[in-house]
Amino acid sequence: DIQMTQSPSSLSASVGDRVTITCRASQTISSYLNWYRQKPGKAPNLLISFTSNLESGVPSRFSGSGSGTDFTLTISSLQPEDFATYYCQQSYSTPHTFGRGTKLEIK
Amino acid sequence: EVQLVESGGGLVQSGGSLRLSCAASGFSFTSHWMSWVRQAPGKGLEWVANINEDGSEKKYVDSMKGRFTISRDNAKNSLYLLMNSLRAEDTAVYYCARDRRGGPNDCWGQGTLVTVSS
């Protein structure tokens, strides 16, 4: 199975900050990397698919990059609704494993 | 509106069985792979299984292979997860999710909680 290593596991930041979350796959996954945001008590929501494709309705402050084994999610200017937990997921091969999550908290 | 609604969760004793259901609406169910993803209390997401459009192809995470069975009824626009030999560590919220081609889960249900008592 492909292991996904996500970092950091938690992050404190302020509204307006720029933050970056990284995800590393244990083997190459081409561009089959997806990012989700999950708010407490809610189902996850797909933000970015295939490394950099922003989902419909997702603000442009979110962006994704990378290829092969190393990927990043960047939020250019944090908004109050962005304080949540973020997960990466590879969909290159089953099982479609997730990273362990990054909890983004208000500083 | 695309909608996925899970049901069937509840409290079950260790060693018992439970069948989860997911009712899909608002999209062409027969055009999508479908998945189950779970989340233990306070923990991260864990992919469980997925199934292809006509139910002929099923994939599982190794740790649940042989105990869990994914299935679907396209006539009823429904997805199922039969869970046998349940253990305390299977306690989680179970989400039904739609797969987009290439694997991302672009639509999720609200989840159903399964609690396994030891």
Q: How many CA atoms lie within 13 A of A88 on its CB side?
A: 34
Mean pLDDT computed over every residue of chain B: 97
Indicate yes or no: CB of A1 within 8 angstroms of CB of B61. Answer: yes
pLDDT at B96: 98
Above 90 in pLDDT, residue A35? yes
pLDDT at B47: 98
Above 90 in pLDDT, residue B102? no
Amino acid at A80: P
Distance from CA of B66 to the nearest CA of A (A): 15
pLDDT in tens, B35-70: 999 999 999 999 999 999 999 999 999 999 999 999
- Minimum-distance CB partner of A46 among B59, B60, B105: B105
Indicate yes or no: CB of A50 within 8 angstroms of CB of B35. Answer: no
Task: Provide the pairing of β-strand B112-117 with B10-13.
Answer: parallel
The DSSP line for chain A is ---EEEE-SEEEE-TT--EEEEEEESS--TT-EEEEEE-TTS--EEEEETTTEEPTT--TTEEEEEETTEEEEEESS--GGG-SEEEEEE-SSSS--B---EEEEE-
pLDDT in tens, A62-96: 999 999 999 999 999 999 999 999 999 999 999 99
A95 touching B (Cβ < 8 Å): yes
What average pLDDT does range B67-96 have in this prediction?
A: 98
B102 touching A (Cβ < 8 Å): yes
